[in-house]
Amino acid sequence: MTERQTPRVAGDMTRAEQTGSEQIGVRKGLFGVHGSGDTSGYGGLIQAVTLPGSSSRPFGGYFDEIADELAAGLAEMSAPQAPTYDDAVEKVVVFRNEMTIHVRRAHLRPVALTLRNRDTLRFELCLGVNGVHYPDDSGRELHAVYPLASITHNRRVRLEVAAPDRDPHIPTLTDIYPTNDWHERETYDFFGIVFDGHRSLTRIEMPDDWQGHPQRKDYPLGGVPVEYKGTRIAPPDQRRSYN
């Protein structure tokens, strides 16, 4: 059987089956660090930084049912100005048997409510929220990712929301998924994403007066000098650079 004839496992789509992949930058060196003096990376490495495009239907497995039921649930919402599926969802990416629904931040809450409450979906559990910083993704530098699990149907899905550096606001989900309380605080602490409506959005790891957000890619490496066998090794941001 040739490679072209190999059957596809349901839900296991490759990047070749996605449309509109977007290159947002080029990374040079193993760690992509510039201006810090860090010499630990291989400066000759050049790699395109890309974000996957939309996956085409059929998604495979139960993923099509999730998309269909989400669309039906949003259409049936009685709340004023309830979004349609096309209003709320930017794209759906299925890769390595995982489904990520990219949601416009203004419509995150109705999407989460529908995924939690609709009988055919019942994603009762949110496993937290993770921050991601893409400094080259202009106007969408900050991303929040929510892994959801349906205990009723034994299914998984992810929500992903983007916000710009200049307006890093995303609505809170703590009243929909109360376990997100400390997770949203941690994401705010490390990435600077402001979760509007959170009852106490304060730092949870760093001191209250700490400047900056340490897990952003533009945060300085810093460090302290190290003594090793009589030799003083400077911190990463003070080492000379070879690139």
Could you state, in order of their start, the residue ranges of all structural domains in the chain?
55-209
**Per-residue pLDDT reduced to its tens digit, 73-88:** 999 998 777 899 999 9
What number does CATH give the domain 55-209?
A: 3.30.460.80
Question: pTM of the entire structure?
Answer: 0.81
- The pLDDT score that the predictor gives to residue 17 is 55
pLDDT at 13 over 50: no
Q: Report the alpha-carbon distance of residue 42 to residue 58 in Å, rounded.
A: 41
11 with 97: CB under 8 angstroms?
A: yes
Residue-level length of the chain = 243
Q: What is the pLDDT of residue 44?
A: 67
- What average pLDDT score do residues 145-165 get? 97
Q: pLDDT confidence of 225, banded at 50, 70, 90? A: confident
- In three-state secondary structure terms, 221 is coil
Give mean pLDDT, residues 40-45.
62
Q: What pLDDT is stored for residue 204 in this prediction?
A: 96
Determine the Cα–Cα distance for residues 86 and 77; give it in Å rounded to an integer.
Answer: 15
Reported confidence tier of residue 27, pLDDT bands at 50, 70, 90: confident
Asked if the model's pLDDT at residue 5 lies above 60, the reply is no
95-104: average pLDDT: 94
CA angle centred on 16, ends 42 and 11, rounded to 5°: 110
Torsion angle (degrees, nearest 10) of CA 122, 163, 75, 73: 0
Q: What is the pLDDT of residue 81?
A: 78
Per the model's pLDDT, the better-predicted residue between 147 and 243 turns out to be 147
- Asked whether residue 211 carries a pLDDT value surpassing 80, the answer given is yes
